[in-house]
Amino acid sequence: MTPLAPVAFLLLLLCLPEAAPAAAASGDSTPTPTPWPPQFHATLVMDYHGNMSLADLWYDWPGGRNLHVIRYQIADDAPYYDNEWNNGTSFFYTPARRACRSAAVGVGILRPDWLLEGSEYLGRRDAGGFDCHVWAKADFITYYEDVKTKRPVKWVFYTGRIAYVMSFEVGAVLEDAAWQAPEYCFNKDGEIAETANGHDDSFLTPRSVL
Ligand SMILES: *[C@@H]1O[C@H](CO)[C@@H](O)[C@H](O)[C@H]1NC(C)=O
Ligand SMILES: *[C@@H]1O[C@H](CO)[C@@H](O)[C@H](O)[C@H]1NC(C)=O
């Protein structure tokens, strides 16, 4: 052995841990969830312990807003709106009854890459015939993403609510007027008013921030 050999061995050891993650990153490492497009329109079939609804979800990150238009099964007063703003204010209203409730949620809407941080990859599973990558974010959601198209397929919330994504239209934007909370959400001074019979149904908010 030359006197240099132990040094070379030590250098090799020092280099190995550096080399390993780089190789993993370029190879078949754990899949990461696809960030949401900045704007989209999705239609959802939702099942909350047997309570069924259809929903339109309009996600608008540049606009700092997120709207669900929900139609509960055979509800005479449908639709019900869940209108969430990035400044932390949410409005829940039912135009048929002119009922509105607001909430200071204290957080903004989900960021497009909200699933990247703190989620755990659970592997591949079938969801209604779609081969999906599945991630769980512990106190919030189990998220199914189509392996082929990278579109979301199914969301299972910690509350037991299941949302089946029926369509996912990337880049669709709802006109500005449709985002305006109705006048009965405000009093005559333009302040946010509270009306009875609104209900809080902000299911896109993780439990950790509620
Ligand atoms: C389903 O839940 C919504 C929201 O809580 C409620 O307004 C509606 O009446 C429920 N539908 C049935 C059939 O219970
Ligand atoms: C948040 O934005 C909405 C829509 O512009 C507005 O009605 C509401 O008053 C704002 N809330 C706060 C706390 O600024």
Q: Is the CB of 51 under 6 A from ligand 1?
A: yes
Question: Could you tell me which residue, 51 or 19, shows the higher pLDDT?
Answer: 51
* Structure token pair of residue 69: 């238009």
Ligand nearest to the CA of 82: 1
* pLDDT tens figures, 64-93: 999 999 999 999 999 999 999 998 889 999
* Structure token pair of residue 72: 């509960």
Gap from CA of 19 to ligand 1 centroid (Å): 56
- The domain ranges of the chain are 30-202
pTM, rounded to two decimals: 0.82
Candidate from 46, 47, 48, 51 with most ligand 1 atoms within 8 A of CB, to mutate: 51
Q: What is the pLDDT of residue 73?
A: 98
| CA dihedral for 153, 158, 159, 160, sign (positive or negative) | positive
Please identify, by atom number, the ligand 2 atom nearest to the C-alpha of residue 179: 4
Closest Cα to atom 8 of ligand 2: 89
CATH of domain 30-202: 2.50.20.30
Ligand nearest to the CA of 199: 1
Question: Could you tell me which residue, 105 or 50, shows the higher pLDDT?
Answer: 50
Closest Cα to atom 7 of ligand 1: 72
What mean pLDDT is predicted for residues 94-98?
Answer: 96
CA distance from start to end of the chain:
65
Q: What is the pLDDT of residue 25?
A: 44
Please identify, by atom number, the ligand 1 atom nearest to the C-alpha of residue 74: 13
Comparing CA positions, the residue from 24, 3, 56 lying closest to residue 168 is 56
Q: Is the CB of 72 under 6 A from ligand 1?
A: yes
Q: What is the pLDDT of residue 192?
A: 77
Candidate from 68, 69, 72 with most ligand 1 atoms within 8 A of CB, to mutate: 72
Answer yes or no: is pLDDT of 197 > 90.
Answer: no
Q: Is the CB of 203 under 6 A from ligand 1?
A: no
Alpha-carbon distance values, 160 to 3, 8, 87, 177, 195 (Å): 66, 57, 27, 33, 28
Q: What is the pLDDT of residue 149?
A: 97
Question: Could you tell me which residue, 4 or 206, shows the higher pLDDT?
Answer: 206
Q: What is the pLDDT of residue 206?
A: 57
Gap from CA of 64 to ligand 2 centroid (Å): 11
Answer yes or no: is pLDDT of 23 > 80.
Answer: no
- The DSSP code for 173 is -
Ligand 2 binding residues, C-beta < 6 A = 85, 87, 89
